[in-house]
């Protein structure tokens, strides 16, 4: 998916790098797969802000996405490639042979009219979902389950993918986008191909107002705040603020935050690349 740099006719357009949306085939979503979204503005049930820098934004409706692909053996036909305001990737409307319609995360290169399938015995083609034990080694995959029947949890954002590296008994080893290699049960499902809209990272909003349309509020540096607002705030002049930490006093550099007794640590073969590991 290419991007375009707009002519600087206004200050907001000067640095704007926008998507061309060439792959999209329709602007009208399937009404039967829409549900309303209620916004919290980052507040919990007591009205207190628990997630900062959220609020406002354009009104949206949620598109129900099929992350489980449990209707094994039912062939579907891709009807559309659509924009989804709730995620960075495109989505596709699939109409199955039994008349049911479902949205899926659109893989890169999917075409209208293409036939896709899911479940044991399906062909390993782009858009088809298979158990990890049946996917050829070296394949690029996305929408990966962590537990059988749970639904896809890994590699769902624009342009992301993982690579299937090997098999050992009931597990497969998968190389994730972060650089981490981990074991996953071979009975978990995954979809062939990479996620669409791979040029999403090249986009530039161009102005602060576009972030407000997306529900993101302004964020300032912790060291520029007052001591009552953040542990790194206050001081005379421009102080560095001391050890980098969060609003809740959790250190953000140098201290490991993962629980050493976490049960899933035994599934990790190689840690992700980070500043701490260097």
- Answer whether residue 185 shows pLDDT above 70: yes
Q: Is 214 domain-assigned? A: no
Q: Is 209 domain-assigned? A: no
Q: 278 and 148 in one domain?
A: no
In this prediction, residue 240 carries a pLDDT of 86
Final residue belonging to a domain, choices 200, 228, 262: 200
Q: 196 and 87 in one domain?
A: yes
In this prediction, residue 1 carries a pLDDT of 55
Q: 122 and 50 in one domain?
A: yes
| Mean pLDDT value across residues 112-117 | 96
Q: 259 and 157 in one domain?
A: no
Q: 254 and 175 in one domain?
A: no
Q: Is 211 domain-assigned? A: no
Q: Is 112 domain-assigned? A: yes
Per DSSP, the three-state class of 176 is coil
- Answer whether residue 277 shows pLDDT above 60: no
CATH number of domain containing 37: 2.40.50.140
Q: Is 215 domain-assigned? A: no
The CA distance from 175 to 173, in Å, is 7
Residue 62: how many CA atoms within 13 Å on its side-chain side?
A: 8
Domain encompassing residue 143: 3-200
In this prediction, residue 214 carries a pLDDT of 96
Q: 80 and 19 in one domain?
A: yes
Q: Is 208 domain-assigned? A: no
Element (H, E) at 210: helix 208-213
Q: 77 and 27 in one domain?
A: yes
Q: Which residue has the tokens 């036909």?
A: 77
Percent of the chain with pLDDT over 70: 98
Q: 126 and 13 in one domain?
A: yes
| Mean pLDDT value across residues 106-131 | 95
In this prediction, residue 241 carries a pLDDT of 83
CATH number of domain containing 255: 4.10.950.10
Which pLDDT band, with edges at 50, 70 and 90, does 272 fall under? confident
- Answer whether residue 94 shows pLDDT above 60: yes
- Answer whether residue 271 shows pLDDT above 70: yes
Q: 249 and 159 in one domain?
A: no
- Answer whether residue 278 shows pLDDT above 60: no
Percent of the chain with pLDDT over 90: 87
| Mean pLDDT value across residues 200-205 | 96
Nearest to 255 by CA among 276, 241, 274, 270: 276
Domain count, the chain: 2
Q: Is 176 domain-assigned? A: yes
- Residue 249 DSSP one-character state: S
In this prediction, residue 256 carries a pLDDT of 79
Beta strand 189-192 with 129-131 is antiparallel
- Answer whether residue 108 shows pLDDT above 90: yes
pLDDT digits (tens, 9 = 90+) for 9-38: 999 999 999 999 999 999 999 999 999 999
Q: 149 and 43 in one domain?
A: yes
Give backbone dihedrals phi and psi of 5, rounded to 5 degrees, phi first: -100, 120
Mean pLDDT score of the chain: 94
The CA distance from 13 to 268, in Å, is 45
Q: 255 and 127 in one domain?
A: no
In the chain, the N- to C-terminal Cα span, in Å, equals 35
| Mean pLDDT value across residues 84-104 | 97
Q: 168 and 229 in one domain?
A: no
Q: Is 70 domain-assigned? A: yes
pLDDT digits (tens, 9 = 90+) for 139-181: 999 999 999 999 999 999 999 999 999 999 999 999 999 999 9
């Amino acid at each position: 998916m290419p991007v375009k740099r707009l002519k600087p006719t206004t200050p907001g357009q000067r640095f704007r790098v926008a998507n061309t949306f060439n792959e999209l085939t329709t602007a009208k979503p399937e009404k039967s797969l829409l549900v309303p979204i209620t916004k919290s503005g980052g507040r919990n049930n007591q009205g207190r802000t628990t997630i900062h820098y959220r609020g406002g934004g354009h009104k949206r409706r949620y598109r129900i996405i099929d992350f489980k692909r449990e209707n094994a053996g039912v062939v579907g036909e891709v009807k559309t490639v659509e924009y989804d305001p709730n995620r960075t990737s495109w989505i596709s409307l699939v109409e199955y042979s039994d008349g049911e319609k479902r949205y899926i995360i659109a893989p890169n290169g999917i075409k209208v009219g293409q036939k896709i399938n899911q479940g044991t015995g399906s062909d390993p083609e782009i858009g088809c979902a298979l158990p990890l034990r049946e996917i050829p080694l070296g394949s690029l995959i996305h929408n990966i389950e962590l537990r059988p029947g749970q639904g896809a949890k890994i590699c769902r954002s624009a342009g992301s993918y993982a690579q299937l590296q090997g098999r050992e008994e009931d597990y497969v080893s998968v190389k994730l986008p972060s650089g981490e290699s981990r074991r996953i049960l071979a009975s978990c499902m995954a979809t062939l191909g990479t996620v669409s809209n791979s040029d999403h990272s090249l986009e530039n909003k161009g102005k602060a107002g576009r972030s407000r349309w997306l529900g993101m509020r302004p964020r300032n540096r912790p060291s520029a705040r007052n001591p009552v607002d953040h542990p790194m705030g206050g001081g005379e002049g421009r102080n560095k603020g001391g050890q980098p930490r969060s609003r809740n006093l959790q250190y953000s550099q140098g201290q490991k935050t993962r629980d050493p007794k976490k049960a899933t640590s035994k599934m990790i073969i190689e840690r992700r690349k980070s500043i701490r590991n260097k």
